[in-house]
Structure formats: C-alpha cells, structure tokens
Chains A and B, each alone.
Chain A
Amino acid sequence: MPITSSQVRKVAQLARLELTEDEVQLVSDQLASIVTFVDQLGEVATDGVEPMAHPLDIHTVVRPDTEVPGLSREQALSNSPNHNDECFLVPPVMAR
C-alpha cells in the first residue's frame, strides 16, 4: 500500500517530528512496507467476531481508593531536562 508524502507529513506533524524532504521519501517507503505487512491481517475473515479490547481474558482489575506513597518532589523533578525548585520548566507555551 503506497503512503503519500502528504500522509507522512501529517503524521510527522501529529508526532511533532520535523522531517527533511529526503526523510519524507525514506519514511514513505518504510511505512508502505510495514503497512503492507500488517495489511495481511485483512485477509482473515472476521465477520461476527466481537472486537477485542484486550488480548488477556481478564477484566475489571481494580484497586481500593487508598493512598500509596509516591515520589518526593526532588525525585519527581530529577529526571527532567529543566526544572526549578518546585516545577518542571518548559519553553514558553504562550509565545506563538
């Protein structure tokens, strides 16, 4: 199944990926190949088969509404590329 470059650009935009023209061509071919592979599933007759939400045959796994100790703020912030004493920091969102 061919994948057009505009489809690649749209998906890249949704994933916030910036691709060069060469990369768009490369990814189009790669995506076409993986989508063709997965498309084989379409050959299986699935009329009357209930859609499956999960491969495991279990359901309704719940926990009680009780607190469990989490991370300290120091731990929570420690993996982030940028933070101050209290918060994660990200480039200004309001600047368009």
Chain B
Amino acid sequence: MNQTPYKLVIGLEVHVQLSTRTKLFCGCPTAFGASPNTQTCPVCLGHPGALPVMNEQAIALAIRTGLALNCEIASVTKWDRKSYFYPDLPKGYQISQFDQPICGPGYLDFADPENEGETLRVRLIRAHLEEDAGKSMHDEGAGKADSQIDLNRTGTPLLEIVSEPDLNSPEAAKAYLIELRLLLTYLGVSDCNMQEGSLRADANVNLHIAQGDTTVATPIVEVKNLNSFRAVERALTYESQRQYSQWQKDGRDITQAPKQTRGWDDAAGVTVAQREKEESSDYRYFPDPDLVPLHIEPRQLEAARQALGDLPAALRERLRYAGLKEYDANVIVSQGRSMVDYFEQAVASGAPAKRVSSWIQQDVMRTLNEQEISIEEFSISALQLAELLQAIEKGDIDNSRGKDVFQYCLQHPEADLDSAKAALGIEAVDQGELEALCRELLAENPKIVAQVKEGNVKGLGALIGAARKKNPNADPKQVRELCHQLILADA
C-alpha cells in the first residue's frame, strides 16, 4: 500500500437492477434495449389515477439478497415518496424506502487485495427497494436541442445497497464490488451487467488527515457515474489526490464546505463538480398513500434462507478443502457456479484436484475464451477430462501428449480417451525401447554427454527435444532421467 499522509475513507452505494420480468409496480416488461417508449403504461408514466401494485418477485429477490448479505430482514416495511423534479421522473417523485427499508444492517467479507490471506469486512447500513428513473438523452454537442426522454426503464426495480465508510483504498472498493457482483450472480438476482446499467456504483469519499494529535476530515464528495470496476478504482485514486491538494490549497474541512456531487469523466480521467447536494429533508419524504405496508412472515424468510444455495465464500472453502490453494479456489469460484460443478464432477470421478484446477485454469479457460462460450457449452465433459487427467497422473500419458489428446477431443467431441490415443498414435513406450532411444541419443550427442559429465546438466533439455522427434510418445521426464543415469553410469 502506498504511504499517504492521509487515510482514505470510502462508502459505496450500489444500485442493483433486480432481474424481474416486469417493473416494480406495474406489469410492463423490463427487458433492456427495447425501442424507446415501448414498455410503458399509465402507472409508470405517472398518469393521474393510476395505482401501483407491488411485484412479489422483486420483494423475494430483495429478501434473498439481504439474507446473503447477512442483513436483518424487516418484518414490516413500507414505501415512501422521494420528491424531486427531473424530466425522466414523470411522477415528480420516486417511490423508495426511507425509514423502514426491507433490509437492515448486514455485512460482506471479501479477500483483502493488498494483503494475501487477509479478509476485509464491509458493514452494510441497509438495502432498500426503489424504482428506477427513465433515461435522458441530451444534445451533447451544442447543448441547444431538446433533450429526449425514454421512459422504458422507469419503474424498473432497484435494490440500493448502502455500505458504511469501511473501505480505505481504491483497490479495496473495487474488490468489494467484484465480490458483491459475484455474490449477486450466484444468487441469480441480477445479471449485474455494468455496461447496461444493471449494477451502478456511487462512492462517498473523503480524507482523514492527521494534524498533530487531531484528525481533520475533508468535505465529503459523492462521486457518480462509475460504470466499470476500473472506473471505480481510477476515480477514487483521482478523487483522493484531488481532495488532498484542494485541502492543501484552501484548508477547508468537512464543517466548512457542503457535501458536493462530482461526476467521473472516464475519457478525461477526472471528476467534475455537479450540483450542490440537496439536503435530505428537501426530498420531502413521506409515506406513499397509494401503497400499503408489506409484512414479511418468518416462514417466508425461512424458506428463502433454505433456498439460498451455496454461496461463493462457502464454495471457496469447499475447494480449499478439496486441496486447492486460496488463489486457485478463487479463480474457479469466480468463473461461476457451473465451473465449480465442472471442477467437482471431475474430482469426484477420480482426477486429482490440483491437476483439474490447473487444466481448468489453462486449457479449459483458454478454450472458452477462444471459442467465446461458457463452460455449459464446452464440448469436453468433466468425466472426459477426469479420465485424461487420471491417465496422466498414472503416467500412462505424459503431460504434453495429454495436451494433444485434449486438442483432439476438442475437434472430435465424440472421441473417448482410447480412440483419441489410437488416432494420435499414442502408445506406451516400454523400458527397452526407451533405453535404446536414449543410448542412440547419447551416441549422437557426445558434446552434451561431456558437458553433463562435468556437471552441466542444461544440455539434457536438448536431448528431450531430439527424443520426441524420434518418438513423440517418449515421456520427456523419463527421457531426461534415463539419459542422466546412463551418462553417470558411464562416467
């Protein structure tokens, strides 16, 4: 970690678009990418007299998320109107939750990106449901043409997850978001597509600067428009440096300046001042008279708890128990539940865990990338891979010939291990053959033999290459060992 003359203090507000089919308070579809203003109705357009009705699936997904984030789930929750004027908010208020959010305090643990083996915990203040606003498209050029408003997104359910200011570096903020996204993906509550705005983060940032015995806090800045993990990291790095130089210039602390909103300009790599933050009371929250409160019954909670399934933290634990290092367990779990299943099936079929892990991370993942497919679409089954890796483990096939089999199976999905071996001409080389081969090599390479006798074993590598030209089935490890033995025996 860089030594800085201050402590960076970051809290994140994360808006997650819940993957319901329809909006939070009406039956309009939520699908992304539809032609503008084709997914609306009188409720989400805010027509007079239209009445909202809660989507039970949005509530179920919020509860599911809250449980996974170790939150207290409210037994009674209600809806409030948050009033402000903006053209993409047709009602003039957003239906949100003010003082009785559906999810109360919780926390999320994640690996400390700056200290291997350590865990960081972010405490969560709350997570509440609210409806999304529409989309405004401004005339970016001259700024003179009318702004266009698309209300398809209006009323889409969002869960806003608010953290305590427990994050102390841009790297930690990014790591928290990555863990949060992985968890949400496992839960299946959101597609978490940042490009499409399904996961949006705002950061509240300031600095605690040591001044002798006391600490000075700089004014809090809310940084908006963080549309990628990289943007989060870059914006927070920029903003911390900006606040420090600003403080050096004017010396203003948190009591001398109001909270400010700044937008991240990704292209320019800077944060830009936006409007001064309105005070909370200016939103004039009050209970929405169009909606009745929501009661959540204990048995509903219990059922949701039972249905949570295995979450990333537990699966990492399980993979480590199976014999993987923390790093490797994390790589596999980060690929999603199907990859974990693939790994576990291969191990259950008898292949050694470490070898499965290493083949998944190299050959399997590279192939998935090249073919742009997911593990579900991968043509080599976990059982096939297990069979191959067991053969390598037993020494029936060497690692390099194993890669040939892997490639052959990719091109011939119907092939089993035996037919692949036959097609590639892979057969066991018996000890006699191997020894004959090695003696031939030594006779052809007197220079190397002389070097090895003098203790310089580097030349043995060249022998391996030559051996495989003569017989591709010769196991490099065996060739190397046998040649070495023969030379020493001769010496």
Contacts and interface: CB of A to CB of B under 8 A. Distances in A.
Contacts of A92: 138-139, 143-147
B56 A64 contact: yes
Interface string B11-38: 0000000001110001111000001111
A82 B145 CA distance: 13
A51 to B, nearest CB: 9
A73 B35 contact: yes
Contacts of B140: 94
Contacts of B56: 62-65
A42 interface: no
Contacts, number: 132
A76 B146 contact: no
A61 to B, nearest CB: 5
Contact of B146 (A14, A61, A82): A82
Instruction: Determine the main DSSP class of B at the interface with A.
Output: loop
A71 B36 contact: no
B26 A88 contact: no
B294 interface: yes
A71 B26 contact: no
Nearest to A54: B292
Given A60-B292, A95-B143, A71 B42 contact: yes
Given A14-B282, A16-B85, A87-B37, A94 B147 contact: yes
Contact of B37 (A54, A58, A86): A86
Interface in B119-139: 136-139
A38 interface: no
Interface stretch (B148-156, B194-202, B371-379, B432-440): B148-156
A66 interface: yes
Interface of A: 14, 16, 53-56, 58-73, 76-77, 79, 82, 84, 86-95
Nearest to A13: B282
Contacts of A88: 37, 87, 148-149, 151
Contacts of B139: 92, 94
Please give me the 5 A-B residue pairs with the lowest Cβ-Cβ distance, nearest first: A68-B27, A70-B41, A65-B57, A87-B148, A62-B56
A27 to B, nearest CB: 17
A25 B148 CA distance: 38
8 contacts: A53-B100, A61-B54, A65-B20, A65-B21, A82-B146, A84-B148, A88-B149, A93-B87
Interface string B53-70: 111111100000000000
B293 A90 contact: no
A70 B53 contact: no
